[in-house]
Amino acid sequence: MITGTNKGSGFGIARQLAREGILVYLVLRAGNLSTTILYMEPDFIYKVVASILIGGTWVALSTVLVEKLGTKTGGLIAGLPSTVVVALFFIGMSQGTDAVVAATTVVPLAFAVNGPFLLAYAALAKRGWWQAMVPALGIWFGLSYLIIVFRLDDFFWGVVICGLLLTLVTVIFERTFNAFSTAGQRADFGWGQLLTRALFAGTIIGTAVLASRFLNPLFGGILASFPAVFVSTLIILHRSRGAAVSVGLAKSLLISGSVNVISYIIAIRYLYGSVGLYWGTLLGLLVSLLSAYLTHRFIMQKLK
């Protein structure tokens, strides 16, 4: 049993998670974590709150653009790094760039999990959005759990596996699913809808920042890779325009999201050490925008 006095490393904790289960671990650790959070310095609390507000707003606006611009262009925008940018930036602000570099080690493999996640969603989309999304999220959490348990945190092999998996899943999408691109449409949004989307994504981002500090950067990297924009936009588009259109968006998100996010991660991993957090983030975003343009120009236009 895991006890409050166990001060093992993050990977030691992960091995205990495998034996006793995440829920048991969280319950038994709740006392320690709540005590620690109670005595967090105000500066760190402000940064966590800022990450929730900024990240949530960013993701909510991305979902609006998807509906207005259509599956190809909107999917390209939604595929730009959002959750991972804000989460890693605030990890860097609160713990330094070394913690960010440590967290990015697992991101390529963690992001590769989005391939099976989107594939499962597409295969089940005709049954309804929740019948598709719940099993797909189960696959995402299950595979992410295995990454933690088996310490699959090699950056180079993570990039290689992500590229291979991206290629394989894209071929399956093209040959299997009746997914077509659509143009945008006029959409009216209430404040309640936007707030719900922002809270959902902001909670994930804030949790990533907390997990990186109180558990291990590995956990922060995993949570920073959570497909908050994907989940929100797929559900919204499925409900408003049907299963086939949402599957078309899933294909766009798969390609643009993987290429753009991995480009950003590779850039900041090597830029943070030389130019620092702020310039590294800005230059990383510019690299991601360039990859987005190239993706749209040479890949997305060739898909049906």
- Is 84 a member of any domain? yes
End-to-end CA distance of the chain: 53
Residue 294 lies in a domain: yes
Q: Give the rounded distance of the alpha carbon of 60 from its chain centre.
A: 14
Dump pLDDT digits (tens) for 86-96.
Answer: 888 988 988 89
The whole-angstrom distance between residue 75's C-alpha and the CA centroid of its chain comes to 15
Q: Answer yes or no: are the C-beta atoms of 280 and 268 closer than 8 Å.
A: yes
Question: In 264-274, which positions are buried (b, 16+ CB within 10 angstroms) versus exposed (e)?
Answer: bbbbbbebbee
Q: pLDDT of the chain along its 304 residues, tens only? A: 444 444 445 455 545 544 444 443 434 344 444 444 444 567 778 778 888 888 778 777 777 776 677 666 666 777 788 778 888 898 898 889 998 998 899 999 998 999 999 999 999 999 999 999 999 999 999 999 999 888 888 899 999 999 999 889 988 888 888 655 555 455 555 677 778 878 877 887 788 778 777 777 778 888 888 887 788 778 877 877 788 878 888 887 888 888 899 999 999 999 998 999 999 999 999 999 999 888 877 665 555 5
Judge whether 73 lies within some domain.
Answer: yes
Q: 186 and 290: one domain?
A: yes
**Is there a domain that residue 47 lies in?**
yes
Residues 17 and 156 in one domain: no
pLDDT in tens, 150-170: 888 889 999 999 999 988 998
Q: Does the residue 148 lie in any domain?
A: yes
Amino acid in the structure at residue 113: V
Measured in degrees and rounded to the nearest 5, phi and psi for residue 79 equal: -80, -10
In a domain, 2, yes or no: no
Q: Are residues 16 and 65 in the same domain?
A: no
The whole domain housing 292 covers: 42-302
